[in-house]
Amino acid sequence: MSQETIWDRLQRIDRRVIYWILFILLMVPFLRPLSLPVSIGPQSITFIEGLRKLKEGDVVVINISSGVSAWPECLPSLVAVSKVLIQQKAKMIFWTSFVDGHMTFEKIVEKVPGFKGLTYGVDYVHLGFYTGAEPAVAQLAKNIRAIFTTDYKGTPIDQLPIMKNVNSANDVKMVISSDTGDYCDYYIRQWRIPFGVPLAEIGIAMNFSAYQPHWQAGILFGVTAGARGGAELEKLIGEPGDATITMDSINTSHLLVIVAVILANLGYAATRRKK
């Protein structure tokens, strides 16, 4: 009987060992971020460049059409964008088409230290939840007060200094839409094309290819692709965050897959020669 080789033992390895190795590789970046290299796409570069063009006092609408379930993919980009908007001293108007959108807004405020130096109702506001899909987005472009009469706390918007002289898309300098579905399309058709308002998309990774042609055509000045896009924005502003950690975790787990494929093929070749 021939002596058992390492390749023979590897072929019989308990799958639980592989699962434990995978678990450890996934967890290490969350315990100690590795900040592995992330190449930056042109869509993220133009995104930040567009934000940097804002002047003090410019009004920016942040549409949250992504729920809590999309936090891993969309929240890091929203956090990074908010940091830049605060640096540019822009006025931020948040609203949401998701019933749990207020949770996303509050999480952004929690994660961005710069909000502590701002005054709610003066420098930023969350108007709350709206429904109605594209017709509502179209109405918001024409008359914001036709959709919102109060903010999400119940304060009449006419009592909020930030809303003074902000009535329609003509009074908004830029729109950032974070969504998991079609809302960016609505803002393209109802805000970008009729009113010429610059628009950027923060989306889940699967939406990236759909909005790539709009970016190439200049309709969108920036697009992010899930956690990867968030990591790119974090790198561009020099503040690694949750998306960078997520990408570290994905990269280390993929490294295990690559090593496993290589070892499997080497083992197969070795056992064939042995026979």
**E-assigned strands of the chain?**
59-65, 91-96, 124-129, 174-179, 199-203, 220-225
Q: Count Cβ atoms below 10 Å from residue 190 Cβ, excluding itself.
A: 21
pTM value is 0.89
- Is residue 176 a contact partner of residue 63, using CB atoms and an 8 Å limit? yes
Going from the C-alpha of 88 to that of each of 62, 217, 237, the distances in angstroms are 15, 26, 13
pLDDT tens for each residue of 235-244: 999 999 999 9
- Is residue 196 a contact partner of residue 19, using CB atoms and an 8 Å limit? no
Question: What is the C-alpha separation between 50 and 123, in angstroms, rounded?
Answer: 20
CATH class of 42-241: alpha beta
State the 10-residue block means of pLDDT for the chain, 275 residues long: 69 83 90 87 98 98 96 97 98 97 98 98 98 97 98 97 97 97 96 98 95 97 97 96 92 89 81 69
Residue 274's pLDDT is what?
67
